[in-house]
Amino acid sequence: MTGKDGLSSSVVETIAGFTAGIATTLCLHPLDLIKTRLQAFIAVDRTSSNRVGGSLRVVRQIFHRECGLAAFYRGLTPNIIGNSSSWALYFLFYGNVKDILGTWRLRCNSDGEQQRRELLTSFDYFIASGSAGIITSVLTNPVWVIKTRMLATGSKSPGAYTSFTTGAMQILRSEGIPGFYRGLVPSLFGVSHGALQFMAYEKLKLHRTNANTRNGYTRELTNMDFFIISSISKVFAGSITYPYQVLRSRLQMYDAHLAYRGLRDAIVQIWATEGLAGFYKGLGPNLFRVLPSTWVTFLVYENTRAYIPKVMLNGS
């Protein structure tokens, strides 16, 4: 689909998502590392709680044992590659599926003047984001396996990957192609998180846009609007789907094949030894991390998506 300025909407979505992924990673990588370390630590010491004290203990250990502040940026390269490519692909596929569904809804609706976006239902947004999430997860899972393992261990730990390429070669030699797809099943389950989040985000954004319409004139949404809408949608989705992140991290650890026979076995073991609370380990730092991440991602995405066509129009 091409806008009036001749710029493909798919290109705009891809660039906006790519930019948002890079910005989010650069700003919040240390928190991602702490969350991953905490989940790895709890996987070994299952009597640990998920209180703030556990997070502070992990922070102190990283700082004192792994060369100070620089240790908090271990695994930055695969995280940037994973986040930027994931968001670029996600928004690309998400936008295209929405366009397809919008066109189909428009053809089925007698009111040809109604905008396609207004015709989309909550279920349409759920399907669009879910489809985009599945495709993106399959394409980028190898990057997340390497990233998780690098973040879960210090650079001086035995067997730790020294770089992204080294990690990829070691996985290929020791585990083969299947090694790159460890944790894919819970990742696919996690697609429901994005589907729920985007369903809520789009409907809240549309509701706010309609509220801003007066006498046929619609005031553009502000950064504060995006801030509030993205927060509500993230909390809504996160409160429902967090356990899949714990399962994914456990299954992507170095010795996961020794500890668990698969997803079902991981679920059974966590339930037997840790109870329901085991599926919410690391939730504290995760909540602390995901909201800033959501704010950065959506603010950068929405502003970049609005800015690119204006630059193209002014330059033409």
pTM of full prediction above 0.75: no
Q: Is 85 part of any domain?
A: yes
Q: Is 230 part of any domain?
A: yes
* Residues of the chain scoring pLDDT < 50: 4, 46, 49-52, 112-114
Query: What CA–CA distance (Å, rounded) separates 221 from 206?
Result: 10
Number of domains, the chain:
1
pLDDT of residue 227: 94
pLDDT of residue 55: 66
pLDDT of residue 113: 43
Q: How many CB atoms lie within 10 A of CB 176?
A: 9
Q: Is 4 part of any domain?
A: no
Q: Is 15 part of any domain?
A: yes
Q: Is 303 part of any domain?
A: yes
pLDDT of residue 248: 77
Cβ proximity of 241 and 190 under 8 Å: yes
Which CATH number is 298's domain given? 1.50.40.10
Q: Is 3 part of any domain?
A: no
Q: Is 2 part of any domain?
A: no
pLDDT of residue 53: 55
For 60-94, b where at least 16 C-beta lie within 10 A, e where not — what string? eebeeebeeeebbebbbbbbbbbbbbbbbbbbbbb
Cβ proximity of 313 and 5 under 8 Å: yes
Domain residues for the domain of 138 are 9-315
pLDDT of residue 2: 53
Would you say the C-alpha torsion 61, 62, 67, 68 has a positive or negative sign? negative
Q: Is 1 part of any domain?
A: no
Cβ proximity of 143 and 85 under 8 Å: yes
pLDDT of residue 21: 92
pLDDT of residue 226: 94
- 3-class state of residue 239 by DSSP: helix
